[in-house]
Amino acid sequence: MDRVFNFSAGPSTLPLPVLEEARDDLLNYKGCGMSVMEMSHRSQDYQNIIDTAEADLRDLMKIPDNYSVLFLQGGGTLQFSMVPLNLLRNTGKADYIVTGTWAKKAYTEATKFGDIRVAASSEQDGFTWVPKLGAADFRSDADYVYITTNNTIYGTRYNYIPDTGGILLAADQSSNFLAEEYNVGDFGLIYAGAQKNVGPAGVTIVIIRRDLLGHAPENTPVYLDYKIHADKGSMYNTPPCFSIYIAGLTFQWIKKQGGVRAIQQHNLEQATKLYTVIDNSSLFNAPVQAEDRSHMNVVFTTGNDELNAKFVAEAKEKGLVNLKGHRSVGGMRASLYNAMPDEGVDALISFMKDFELANR
């Protein structure tokens, strides 16, 4: 089979030019005589790779100088622990907005380490919308407020940045990192697993304001202290070198696409095209409240489990794969991360129209 259109929620499709470059250099990176996978992380060749990746990311996100950029392991799950361990630095209180499975897991994990409160949750409505909160909704002495800017499973996004009244804001941007423009200065900490918009699973990017480093309790497991990594340029221990390399190639690809603003515009066009088809369909519908719809993860359904399964199976035969919704939601989900080509969205839309004609 030729390359398919891969609508997986993550790990997911990567830009073809990134994969081609990685393939061409796989046995011998730019004539240095070895694969990036074989390179000492202490070598100048590898230092150049990670330095370039960081510089390109800083450029793409306009990251201020008083923020550190870290390339870590352990995924979002390790961040669920690291965020409270490092940010509960004064009162030990934090307020979480629970907008999906991952936000809830982050909240539950944080309760091990402090006085954690759910500021709001949309769970009672199946996480089909995002609460709109302002400064009055948070404890004024909280050490931080925690949000998940895009909810992969339920297909929602924040269409606003909460005014926390000056409380530090921490954000899981795993599924819309580099897919939407943010002002980094609005956050004390941003993190993202790479396996949606950036690269292979196995590297998590953390952007943290430097004054927040150094507050982890003394008995914190060493790997879980951001300061350790910041002080050593993500080289306290051997980093996930190859995954960082691929992320770096993706950063360069995003620059070639015109940067984050251009990518965001493109993502919005793709998502709008797909939501419009769903909204105009008599077979498909989207459960998410219109104003909170994700540009990354488009959730839809026929309302009939059997028909949904048929849709997913027939789509797969046409090279449109991983359209099955998350088990906790059912139905379908088309993830349109940065690397999804227009041809993929167009092919999906064309198939949806054919399927509707054949099954109404």
Q: What residues are annotated to the active site?
A: 102, 172, 196
**Would you give the binding string for its own copies spanning residues 245-284, x where CB under 8 A is met?**
-x--------------------------------------
Question: Tokens 């227009």 correspond to what residue?
Answer: 342
Site track 320-339 with its own copies (rule: CB under 8 A), x = hit: -xx-----------------
- Other residues' Cβ atoms within 10 Å of the Cβ of residue 329: 19
CA-to-CA distance for 71 and 137, rounded, in angstroms?
33
Token digits for 301? Answer: 């359904």
**Of the two residues 235 and 307, which places its CB atom closer to its own copies in the complex?**
235
Which of 55, 135, 222, 268 is in the footprint of its own copies by CB under 8 A?
Answer: 222
Q: Could you give the string, one character per residue 118-157, with x where binding to its own copies holds by CB under 8 A and - elsewhere?
A: ----------------------------------------
Residue from 88, 170, 224, 263 that binds its own copies (CB under 8 A)? Answer: 224
Quick note: the x/- pattern for its own copies over 61-90, rule CB under 8 A, is: ------------xxxxxx-xxx--x-----
- Among candidate residues 205, 331, 345, the one with its CA nearest the CA of residue 277: 345
| DSSP E strand stretches across the chain | 5-6, 67-72, 93-98, 115-121, 144-148, 150-151, 156-157, 169-172, 189-193, 204-209, 297-300, 320-321, 332-335
> What sign results for the dihedral spanned by CA atoms 46, 206, 11, 105?
positive
Question: Can residue 341 be called a binding residue for its own copies (CB under 8 A)?
Answer: no
By CB under 8 A, what part of segment 10-29 binds its own copies?
Answer: 10-14, 16, 19-20, 22-23, 26-28
Find out whether 41 and 241 touch, Cβ atoms under 8 Å. Answer: yes
> What is the C-alpha separation between 92 and 113, in angstroms, rounded?
8
Q: How far is the CB of 281 from its own copies (least distance, A)?
A: 26
Nearer Cβ to its own copies (185/221):
221
> Least distance to its own copies from the beta carbon of 149, Å?
18
Q: Report the residue number, 170 or 277, with the smaller CB distance to its own copies.
A: 170
d(CA 39, CA 28): 10
Shortest distance in whole angstroms from residue 146 CB to its own copies: 16
Q: Which is nearer to its own copies, 3 or 360 (CB)?
A: 3
Return d(Cα 109, Cα 156) in angstroms, integer: 22
Retrieve residue 354's tokens.
């054919």
Say if CB 340 and CB 13 are below 8 A apart: yes
Kindly state whether residue 238 participates in binding its own copies, applying the rule CB under 8 A.
yes
Count other Cβ atoms within 10 Å, centred on residue 282.
7
C-alpha to C-alpha distance for 73 and 204, rounded to whole angstroms? 6
3-11, 53-61, 149-157, 252-260 -> range binding its own copies (CB under 8 A): 3-11
Shortest CB 223 distance to its own copies, Å? 5
**Site mask, its own copies, residues 98-117, x = CB under 8 A?**
-----------x--xx----
Q: Is 173 in the site for its own copies (CB under 8 A)?
A: no
Residue 167 or 348 with smaller CB distance to its own copies: 348
Q: Kindly identify the residues of this chain, within the stretch 179-198, that bind its own copies according to CB under 8 A.
A: 193, 195
Residue 100 or residue 162: which is nearer to its own copies going by CB?
100
Give the other-Cβ count within 10 Å of 195's Cβ. 24
Structure tokens belonging to residue 337 = 């991360």
CB-facing half-sphere around the CA of 55: CA atoms within 13 A: 6
Inter-residue contact 328 to 185 (CB < 8 Å): no
Pairing between β-strand 5-6 and β-strand 320-321 as defined by DSSP bridges? parallel
**Positions that interact with its own copies (CB under 8 A):** 1-4, 6, 8-14, 16, 19-20, 22-23, 26-28, 31-35, 37-41, 43, 73-78, 80-82, 85, 109, 112-113, 193, 195, 199-203, 218-219, 221-224, 236-243, 246, 319, 321-322
